[in-house]
Structure 1
Amino acid sequence: MSSTVLYLLKANVALLVFAPAYFGLLRRLTFFSLNRFYLLFTLLFSAAYPLLPLPALFPAGAALPAAFVLVETSAAHSAMVAGPVAPAVDWGAVGLLLYAGGAAVLLGRLLVQLLSLWQLRRTSHPSVVLGQPIRALAGVVSPFSFWRTIYLNPRQHPGAELAAVLRHEQVHARQWHTLDVLLAQVAQALAWCNPAAWLLRRALLDNLEYLADHAALQTGLDRQAYQYSLLCLSQGVAGPSLVSHFTFPTLKNRVIMMNSPASALGQTGRYLLALPLAVGLAVGVGAALSPAAAAPATQTAAPGPAVYYLDGKLSDKAAVYALDQKSIAYIHMLDEKQARQAFGAASGAVAIVVTTANQNSAAVLALNEKVDKVAPFMPATPEQKAAIAAAQAYLLKNYPNAKLQFIGPDSKADAAAPRYRAQFQDGGQTKQQYFDAQGQPVGTASTSPNRR
């Protein structure tokens, strides 16, 4: 799983966790400022927490130019897989491309809306109404505010209605509600396939209206007259889609919230329940999504080879690693038991590397004769080659600064469910990565002790 996909999964899961907590526990409370904080925290936390060094995070990986690739066909058989990895369709990349395309469309729509507002500003002119600086518009238009500026046609509203409109929009402008709106729009665009993003955006916009209505009424406006003004405005021409909130579909809920009794102070305890619960669930689910969580807890690292033979003669690790991969004809691997049987000494695992130029030399033939008695050389099957190719492609993509040592079937795995093991050097450490029968990663890379 790529780090980008993992980030998107965690961010979208966080939105899915926070949304039910808000709609189930907080939506009907009249603590509008606290609700604003909760909704903003939801969007910011969902975007940021997958990037933080929490236990739920997947350590960033990277890929490696392979020195050579080894296939252990069983505890007693091995073979070399060489040559370039066959190209395959990267469905993960295709999915990310489609996801990015959807986000780009919505971000483009947001840009068009911003340009539309800019055009309105160009057609407006500065004015002062009831002591409030505004941008006056011509024609019939729904009043709105953007950033710290109020836009309206003062000739369009009777005196009482104009005062109500100004006080309402003053709250939006003074409390920087445009920041909330833009953040919600961007979150919806980047998480466009997540229904929670759309619901949270709508909830955030509604809560801003509840907050502005409440603040406007606190200035001494008559409640019934104010609500009647809203009803009249909702029947008019809609304003810019990015900022206009005087619409009939939301008016019912706004009137309900204005007429609702203030929530008891004790209800603030719901925030102490909703916020930690949502954060805990988001981090917990994120931990379950991390590849590290899929790695077996009792998994232990298998040792690498202790002895190297190059072209039939005893050699060392440095000489083998200095070889050009294209010059290698095959690699044969013996575990400790096989090495004892073949060489009569407890020397640890043995890697036998043969180059194309010397594969028929006397030294190679003599060593093969000795080794074939306990571990005959066998070529890899097409299925093994395909799995190794997929595993190698994953390593080449995710560990570019490391050096691959071995990759092949895990001899400790169940024969009915074959598994592959890759061993490589990365950042001065010997690491292992396991793969399933199709060459897909199982868990994340684990660190094993370096052996000489």
Structure 2
Amino acid sequence: METLFIYIAKSSGLIALFFLAYYFLLRKETFFTANRWFLLAGLFTSLILPWIVFTTIVWVDPTPSDIDWSKIPMTAVQEESFEINWYLVLAVAYIIGIVLFLVQFALDFYNLNRVLKGKTTQQQADHKFIDLKENIAPFSYFNTIVYNSSLYSEAEMESILEHEKIHSEQYHTIDVLITRFFCILFWFNPFIWLYKKAILQNLEFIADSEASKNISDKKAYQLTLLKITAHENCVVLTNHFYQSLIKKRIVMLNKNQSKKWNSWKYALIIPALAAFVFSFQMEVIAKEKNQKPKAEQTASNDADVYKITKNTTEAELKEKAETISKNYGIAVQFSATKRNANNELTAITVELRKGTEISNNRNVNSSEAIKPFGIVITKDSNGKISIDFIEEDKSVEKLVVANNVVSSNTPISADTQIYINEEKSDKTAMDKLDPKEIATMNVTKNGEKKEIRIITGKYSIGDMNEIYINGNKASQNELDQLESGSIERMDVTNSFGKKAIRITTKNGTHYQDKNMPVPPVPPTAPVMKFKTPVAPVFPKAPKAPKGDPINGDKKAWKDFEKKMEDYDAKMKKLEPQMEAFDKQMAEFDKQMEPFNKEMEVFNEKMKAFDKQMEEYLADKKDNK
């Protein structure tokens, strides 16, 4: 469950990262279509990238695997008191939030269908038009455009339809539904709601920009925008002509096109994603080096070599396995064999085992034919057997048998209870364990009762509900940074169905890289209490007569001039109301100003953090 919360936290952080990049770098640019794909890419990146983990193998010197039961510390087992499982509480709260927002989505979908159901539609080319009688703002839903023609003039309807056609033709409804899905999934993250607002606003910029190209009178289009803002009865899950940030739409309509060289800003997200990957998506796996043989050992050994090449057939592999088993009593299994079109071996897995005494394996997997290698079995003067794999270049990866022996004669009392990976087991199963597979082992004594608890490398510590290091609750990241050599004892407990791992180190401390820079905390977005300003009702502009004033109907043009004088007088009377509207919009900008300043400070801190991370990673790479 902790893994799920870590994934959600990483995804939420990426959503915040992409929103901040858009807010500070791209929102004032006129690359509306590019911004659309950038914002959508941010959502899908936040969903996929936390699943991708890059692994790095670090080879370490092998540790002795002989088990001395007499030197294993004994500790008393204490029953744990009842504790609240906060992961479970958070999971329940998270699921309740998702359910509530899904119910809201279902209600919105139901209301939309109720508006569309049973209405007369007119099919024109790829679009369906529905003319309603209700007082509702125009909107589009996929290829369906809905409006009330009785509320607008012919010129206004032309602007509205051009706008909604752009939404329909560019499938903006899909963007709306995707954004709604992410709002349900990350409902607790304030940045996803700001992200949703940015996407919807950018879709309106796209539609305004494309529609204004097909309309001769851009001023009339802007006046139509202001008129539509009076209709607050909008349908969700749609691209509606009305949007609250009408002032920004008008500003963007009249803004000069951004210079192409400004598109370099999109590339700035790449270093940030690289820092995220290096910080959170890199996993280091430690593997033990195989020991090299001593010259005096190999000199006196009687060795048999069983060579395997790219042309070795399945029958020959079977024959070699039978021969090794017959001569040495070693079970040999050849598996996962793959061959190319020329019937040459490209992959093979070799597993060798003799009871609990000898265990070795080799895995070869390539797109090309394998290189020849050999299985070397040696027997010294004392009759002790060891297994090597030797390459064609004669370099030997020696495995000393003494380090692979699990003594089956170690005395263990009959009343001792044995647990392997939290499952009750017995001494027979314990004797069959390969010491190389054992990650931790602990012997505890509770009164006269003794317990042996063994955790193998196959057991996932990620299944633990809680992790404690020296009595303090720790995270998976702290556990990953713990040096294996510093561990004195490791206990795994299971109380009330909740698993916990408790680690005690030798010196009471554990390793943490204190040189790693700490990222700054982003500011909290303000809670908006701002009601959308209502624009004044504009008078209907007179329609110009056909022709021109010189060659056309002069009487009609004279009447038109009088009507325009009346229209201008009415518009002049509306200037105080427009000034009040502008003041209300300025108040909104004022409320956002402190947050904008905090975001500027945060951006500077992020720049410093990125620089520190670059230096930290460079130093870490040099130290390797």
Which bracket does the TM-score occupy, shorter chain normalised? 0.5 to 0.7
After TM superposition, the structure 1 = structure 2 runs for residues 222-241 of structure 1, keeping only pairs within 5 Å, are 222-241=217-236
1:379 aligns with 2:415: no
> RMSD in angstroms over aligned alpha carbons?
4.7
Aligned partner of 1:243 among 238, 241, 252: 238
CA contact (8 A) 1:19 1:200 kept: yes
Q: Give aligned-pair identity as a percent.
A: 24
Corresponding residue number in structure 1 for 2:278:
284
Alignment-mate amino acid for residue 95 of structure 2: A
CA contact (8 A) 1:77 1:378 kept: yes
> What is the alpha-carbon distance in structure 1 between the residues aligned to residue 224 and residue 20 of structure 2?
33
Aligned partner of 2:73 among 49, 74, 77: 77
Corresponding residue number in structure 1 for 2:35:
35
> What is the alpha-carbon distance in structure 2 between the residues aligned to residue 308 and residue 241 of structure 1?
71
> What is the alpha-carbon distance in structure 2 between the residues aligned to residue 3 and residue 49 of structure 1?
15
CA contact (8 A) 2:15 2:42 kept: yes
> What is the alpha-carbon distance in structure 2 between the residues aligned to residue 247 and residue 421 of structure 1?
62
Corresponding residue number in structure 2 for 1:272:
267
Q: How much has 1:48 moved relative to structure 2?
A: 1.4
Q: How much has 1:277 moved relative to structure 2?
A: 2.9
CA contact (8 A) 1:145 1:243 kept: yes
Q: How much has 1:306 moved relative to structure 2?
A: 2.7
Question: Taking structure 1 as reference, are residues 34 and 412 closer, same or farther at Cα in structure 2, changes over 3 Å only?
Answer: closer
Q: How much has 1:312 moved relative to structure 2?
A: 5.1
Cα deviations across residues 314-338 of structure 1 (Å, max 9, x unaligned)?
A: 9xxxx998xx93879xx9xxxx9xx
> What is the alpha-carbon distance in structure 2 between the residues aligned to residue 97 and residue 299 of structure 1?
42
Q: How much has 1:2 moved relative to structure 2?
A: 3.1
Corresponding residue number in structure 2 for 1:65:
none
Corresponding residue number in structure 1 for 2:15:
15
Corresponding residue number in structure 1 for 2:524:
none
User: Secondary structure of the residue that 1:165 maps to in structure 2?
Assistant: helix
> What is the alpha-carbon distance in structure 2 between the residues aligned to residue 166 and residue 21 of structure 1?
33
95-104 vs 124-133, greater mean Cα deviation:
124-133
> What is the alpha-carbon distance in structure 2 between the residues aligned to residue 44 and residue 92 of structure 1?
26
Alignment-mate amino acid for residue 14 of structure 2: A
22-31 vs 1-10, greater mean Cα deviation:
1-10
User: Secondary structure of the residue that 1:379 maps to in structure 2?
Assistant: strand
TM-score of the two chains, using structure 1 as the length reference: 0.63
Aligned partner of 2:133 among 119, 134, 138: 138
Cα deviations across residues 358-383 of structure 1 (Å, max 9, x unaligned)?
A: xxxxxxxxxxxxxxxxxxx97369xx
TM-score of the two chains, using structure 2 as the length reference: 0.47
The unaligned stretches of length 5 or more in structure 2 are 57-66, 290-402, 466-482, 493-499, 512-624
Alignment-mate amino acid for residue 420 of structure 1: M
Alignment-mate amino acid for residue 117 of structure 1: L
Corresponding residue number in structure 1 for 2:25:
25
User: Which structure has the highest strand share of the two?
Assistant: 2
137-146 vs 239-248, greater mean Cα deviation:
239-248
Corresponding residue number in structure 2 for 1:344:
none
Corresponding residue number in structure 1 for 2:148:
153
User: Secondary structure of the residue that 2:486 maps to in structure 1?
Assistant: coil
Alignment-mate amino acid for residue 117 of structure 2: R
> What is the alpha-carbon distance in structure 1 between the residues aligned to residue 404 and residue 143 of structure 2?
66
1:325 aligns with 2:432: no
Q: How much has 1:268 moved relative to structure 2?
A: 1.1
> What is the alpha-carbon distance in structure 1 between the residues aligned to residue 260 and residue 158 of structure 2?
32
CA contact (8 A) 1:227 1:255 kept: yes
CA contact (8 A) 2:145 2:164 kept: yes
> What is the alpha-carbon distance in structure 2 between the residues aligned to residue 179 and residue 298 of structure 1?
47
1:420 aligns with 2:490: yes
1:209 aligns with 2:204: yes
Q: How much has 1:129 moved relative to structure 2?
A: 8.0
CA contact (8 A) 1:191 1:197 kept: yes
After TM superposition, the structure 1 = structure 2 runs for residues 170-185 of structure 1, keeping only pairs within 5 Å, are 170-185=165-180
CA contact (8 A) 2:138 2:242 kept: no
Q: How much has 1:127 moved relative to structure 2?
A: 2.5
Alignment-mate amino acid for residue 379 of structure 1: K
Aligned partner of 2:88 among 93, 104, 109: 93
Q: How much has 1:30 moved relative to structure 2?
A: 0.2
1:106 aligns with 2:101: yes
Aligned partner of 1:307 among 407, 414, 422: 407
> What is the alpha-carbon distance in structure 1 between the residues aligned to residue 42 and residue 142 of structure 2?
22
User: Secondary structure of the residue that 1:118 maps to in structure 2?
Assistant: helix
User: Secondary structure of the residue that 2:121 maps to in structure 1?
Assistant: strand
Corresponding residue number in structure 1 for 2:193:
198
Corresponding residue number in structure 2 for 1:52:
52
> What is the alpha-carbon distance in structure 2 between the residues aligned to residue 253 and residue 110 of structure 1?
28
CA contact (8 A) 1:17 1:281 kept: no
Question: Taking structure 1 as reference, are residues 270 and 130 closer, same or farther at Cα in structure 2, changes over 3 Å only?
Answer: same
The unaligned stretches of length 5 or more in structure 1 are 57-69, 337-348, 354-376, 400-409, 423-432, 444-452
Instruction: Specify the structure having the higher radius of gyration (Cα).
Output: 2
User: Secondary structure of the residue that 2:231 maps to in structure 1?
Assistant: coil
Q: How much has 1:29 moved relative to structure 2?
A: 0.6
> What is the alpha-carbon distance in structure 2 between the residues aligned to residue 216 and residue 312 of structure 1?
85
CA contact (8 A) 1:210 1:257 kept: yes
Matched residue pairs, number?
Answer: 341
Question: Taking structure 1 as reference, are residues 378 and 12 closer, same or farther at Cα in structure 2, changes over 3 Å only?
Answer: closer
CA contact (8 A) 1:238 1:244 kept: no
> What is the alpha-carbon distance in structure 1 between the residues aligned to residue 216 and residue 126 of structure 2?
17
> What is the alpha-carbon distance in structure 1 between the residues aligned to residue 271 and residue 112 of structure 2?
39
Q: How much has 1:299 moved relative to structure 2?
A: 10
Alignment-mate amino acid for residue 6 of structure 1: I
Q: How much has 1:156 moved relative to structure 2?
A: 2.3
